Copies of this chain bind each other. A is one copy, B any other.
Amino acid sequence: MSKLDAALAHADAHIEESLERLKALVRIKSISTDPAYAGEVRKAAELLSADLNQLGFDASVRDTIGHPMVVAHDTAADGPHVLFYAHYDVQPVDPLNLWHSDPFEPQLVKQASGETHIVGRGTSDDKGQLLTFVEACRAWKAVHGALPLKVTLFFEGEEESGSKSLRPFLEAAKDELGVAEVALVCDTDLWNPTTPSIVTMLRGMVAEEIEISCASHDLHSGMFGNAARNPIQVLSELIASLRNPDGSVAIERFYDDVKELPADVAALWQRLPFDEKAFMAGAGLTTSAGEQGRSVLEQTRARPTCEINGIIGGYTGDGFKTVIPAKASAKISFRLVSEMDPDKIRAAFRKHVTDRLPPDATVTFHGHGGSPAVTVPSYGPFVAKAAKALQQEWGNETALIGSGGSIPVAGEFKRILGLDTLLIGFALDDDRIHSPNEKYNLSSFHKGIRSWLRIIASFAGEA
């Protein structure tokens, strides 16, 4: 029996105890956004730290300007050094009346499919995912006495409330954490219930608020209508000018730094089981409004976009008011990919707007932050090994995929620690994260633990 097989067998034999530890962690109400629960957040950090010390890690709770971090090292081995990240804080539970059971008293609910749901706040996001790695380490150590590679664990308690301490903490702990060779983050989904995924691309973002002003005060459209510049009209024309008829973004040089997907990645994406019609139907839509000639997968994960997230101007209450308002404003965001520079995109957008302003219209820009896309080389040694290990556990080829959303910690690891991040997770899009009746599949938890054992063995040259 290989070292890996022995560890897998131990994990299988002790899954009930792993589940009990997950339940104990879920019972702690570590809601980070509500100051009333600060003591519970700390209690979760202390439980994790104590358990890791007992497991032989050098673990401690680190104070920050917000909620504490947990850092734990076990770096005696000769193998490569991995930094594993997850978060132990959770979202609020309201509306409580929509929960079928106490959010903090986890229930095992058997499904008709044979699957078992572990129901409770944080079971999926992110306590269950966090423990998959801890339980893998526990199993390996239980069987073999020591880990086969260097492990640093880094758990955050503010992921659901803005991560305000993350950047200063990483800056301060740069030497301690930056010695790792690769970061592993467990906060993402499987591709589908039987297909594992590694997210290797994350879109970046630029957020802008613009306000168009024309007249010095609101005007009566009976008196000024036709002659007065209408800022809603101006804003609408500007927004209309942002997209070409083919769905692409019409800002000059917008696509300059956008790279096409490498041919092998593009080929992999085409092989992935993905039902465009079902995906769109989930939003009540039938047709992609995005760039013609691009698949929905590409559009949402590998292509940049410009979206209007909010607009307001004039009279918006009940009834009617024949006003020509003095101002109108919109919130506009851009998702970025590959080498797109947030500052360049912001400047290009502002130039696009300024160049098109008609007489008597002025614009005020207000930036709401920006971050570049994060790309992990798809075929670096760690990615290749992890992809193969995951395939062995799940039986299907690993999806190396992009994510349309932003996971800021991966960008910070790159920027501050100089580390590439492999985003590997076992959640599913029906886990109801952030919603009532959040659940994690027992198979996500169990096969998640087994997946990490395979990845640990693979990175250490034991498989």
Contacts and interface: CB of A to CB of B under 8 A. Distances in A.
Interface of A: 33-35, 91-92, 94, 98, 160-162, 203, 205, 207, 209, 214-230, 232-233, 235-237, 239-243, 247, 279-280, 283-291, 296, 299-300, 303-305, 307-326, 328, 330-331, 333, 335, 358-360, 368-369, 403-406, 429, 432-436
8 contacts: A203-B222, A218-B435, A221-B333, A226-B404, A230-B307, A232-B330, A308-B314, A309-B321
A359 B287 contact: yes
Given A226-B290, A308-B313, 19 more contacts: A35-B318, A162-B319, A215-B284, A219-B283, A221-B305, A221-B335, A222-B403, A223-B404, A223-B429, A226-B291, A226-B307, A226-B335, A232-B308, A309-B325, A310-B323, A312-B316, A320-B331, A320-B368, A323-B435
Nearest to A203: B222
Contacts of A287: 229, 359-360
Counted per complex, copies of this chain come to 2
Given A218-B434, A232-B239, A288 B335 contact: no
Contact of A313 (B228, B233, B305, B311): B311
A94 B325 CA distance: 12
A160 to B, nearest CB: 8
Tell me whether chain A's interface is mostly helix, strand or loop, or mixed. Answer: loop
A367 to B, nearest CB: 10
- Determine which residue in A216, A315, A403 has the highest number of CB atoms from chain B within 10 A of its CB, and name it: A315
Contacts of A310: 232, 313-316, 321, 323, 325
Contacts of A280: 227-228
A190 to B, nearest CB: 13
A396 to B, nearest CB: 21
